[in-house]
Amino acid sequence: MRENDLERYIDKIKQMHAKITPQRIEILKIFLSNQEDHLTTEEIISRLSDSKTGQATVYRTLELFCQAGILKKVNFKNEDFARYDLLDLDSKHFHHHFICTQCEKVIEINEDLLEPIEEQIQKEHHLVITNHELIFRGICQDCQNKSDINE
Amino acid sequence: MRENDLERYIDKIKQMHAKITPQRIEILKIFLSNQEDHLTTEEIISRLSDSKTGQATVYRTLELFCQAGILKKVNFKNEDFARYDLLDLDSKHFHHHFICTQCEKVIEINEDLLEPIEEQIQKEHHLVITNHELIFRGICQDCQNKSDINE
DNA sequence: ATCCGTGCAAAATCTTTGCATCTCG
DNA sequence: CGAGATGCAAAGATTTTGCACGGAT
C-alpha cells in the first residue's frame, strides 16, 4: 500500500513535467515515513542519508512538491521557518488541525464537517469555495490531566 | 465610537504593564483607520508620519500588541513577511477569512458558525477548544464574473 | 544529446539584538 | 528618579539565486 502510494505521488511529479531524481524520491520517502510529523526544511536535510544533497535542492524540491499538490506548507506555531504536511491523495480537502496552546502538540483531525457551513457562506457572500484551512487551538488531553493534578 | 475604541485598546497595553508612548499610539491609530487591510510591517512604517520612528520599534510594538491581544499575526498568502489583523474587542473568537485564489483578495467573514462543530470535535478527541482560525479559499464574485465574460 | 536538476557559495530579505540615550509614570 | 522604550546599526536566520557541472529522458 505504501509502495503504491509512492507511485501515485511520483505520478504527481511527472504531471508537472519534472524529472524523477534520487533526491526527489528520497525526500518523498521521508514524508511517507513521517506522516504524523510536520517536518521543517532543516529536519528533512538532517534525515537525508546522502549528505551531499544541497540545501538549495531541498528548498527547490519542497517548492516543486507544493506546486504538484504533494505537500502543503504550514505554519501553525508562528515559527520563522516553514513546515510541510503531506497531502492525502484521496481526499478532496485539506484536513484540520488542533494545536495545544500549552505543549504545542499538533493533532490531525480528519473529519471534514465543514460542508454545510461552506454552503451557507457561499450563498451569503456570493463566493465559490474550493478549499479550506481550519486550525483549532486549546488544551489537549494530556495537558488537561496535568493541570488537574496540580489543583 | 472610534475614540472610545482607542481607549479600550490602550487599556490592553496598560494591562501588559507597558508604557503608553507616542509611537505605540500612532501605530494603534494606523490599525484603527485601516481595519479592512492586513498591513505588513513595511506598510506600517511607510504610514508613520514621524519618520524618525525606527523599524525596530515597529517590530517590537507589533510583538507587544500580539501579546496584548490587540493584533493577530496572519500569513494567508504564504508571503515571507508578516501581516497583522486588528482583533475585535467584543468577539470571543477570531473571525474567518476568504482568500481568492485568483486575485488574492481577502474577505472577512464575521459569522462564527463553528460552535456545533467544535463541540463535536471536543467530545470525540477529548480536547478543550478555546479558539480557531478558519480560512476558505476559492473564487470571489469579481473573478467569477470575469471568467463568465471570457466564456 | 539536450534540458533540467544539483551543489556550492554568495546574496537577498525579513526580523532580532546590543547599546547608548531618552522618556513615561 | 528609575525602569522601560527608542533609534541606530549590526547581527541573525531563513530562503533564494547564479553558475558550472552532472544526470535523467
Name the domain boundary from B69, B89, B109.
B89
User: pLDDT tens digits for B36-47?
Assistant: 899 999 999 999
B42 and B103 share one domain: no
B95 and B82 share one domain: no
Find the CB nearest A127 among B114, B135, B138: B138
Give this prediction's pTM. 0.91
Q: What percent of chain A has pLDDT over 90?
A: 85
A122 and A48 share one domain: no
Specify the 3-state DSSP secondary structure of A29. helix
* Segment (H or E) for A141: helix A141-149
Higher pLDDT, B98 or A92: B98
| Structural domains of chain B, count | 2
> Which pLDDT score is estimated for B3?
61
User: pLDDT tens digits for B60-72?
Assistant: 999 999 999 999 9
Q: Residue A92: what residue type?
A: K
A59 and A18 share one domain: yes
A72 and A29 share one domain: yes
Q: Is the pLDDT of residue B151 over 70?
A: no
User: What distance in Å separates the CA atoms of residue A46 and residue A37, rounded to the nearest whole number?
Assistant: 14
> Which pLDDT score is estimated for A81?
94
A40 and A61 share one domain: yes
User: What distance in Å separates the CA atoms of residue B78 and residue B41, rounded to the nearest whole number?
Assistant: 15
The residue of B83, B102, B117 whose CB has the most chain A CBs within 10 angstroms, and thus the best one to mutate to test that interface, is B117
B46 and B9 share one domain: yes
Alpha-carbon gap: B106 to the closest alpha carbon of chain A (Å): 12
| Helix, strand, coil distribution of chain B in percent, nearest 5 | 45, 20, 35
A96 and A83 share one domain: no
Question: Mean pLDDT over all residues of chain A?
Answer: 93
Residue span of the structural domain in which A136 resides: 91-151
Check if B113 contacts A (Cβ < 8 Å).
yes
For residue B64, what is the domain's CATH number? 1.10.10.10
Q: Is the CB of B141 under 7 A from strand D?
A: no
Q: Is the pLDDT of residue A1 over 60?
A: no
